[in-house]
Amino acid sequence: MEDDLRYLLLGYRKYTKTTQRELAKTLDIPLYTYTALEIGSFKQPSEHLLSKIKGLTTEFDQDDLKHIGRGYWIKDEVGPDFKYFLRGLREEKGVDLQELNSMPSEECLRTIGSVDMDEFDVIAIGRTV
């Protein structure tokens, strides 16, 4: 649940182009709580807070938001190894990198976030190519 929640919030924030501070205010929680939710270190949000998050994101496709959030997270987390991640996607999943690069940024990150493999396994594959 924590991973899904953090990716959901990050995806929502990126998709709606809002800041962490704005979302914290919208959810009526301190900024440090919102930040902890987004990085996945806030382990047990209350049912009330989960209900607020659900209400905030309900008009959007939840899976799309999670994939967008995970795509952003992967790109940020792996940093300079992102090139190996992309090579690994091409090798393991047959992803056409030219097609991926031609997509709008959000669609590209949604695609990256939907890959059902551990990002570090994908990087390891990319390093061997």
Tens of pLDDT along 1-46?
Answer: 456 999 999 999 999 999 999 999 999 999 999 999 999 898 889 9
Tens of pLDDT along 68-78?
Answer: 999 999 999 99
What percent of the chain has a predicted confidence (pLDDT) above 90?
Answer: 89
Report angle CA 69, 74, 77 to the nearest 5 degrees: 115
Nearest residue to 72 via CA among 24, 118, 8, 10: 10
Per-residue pLDDT at 1: 47
Per-residue pLDDT at 63: 95
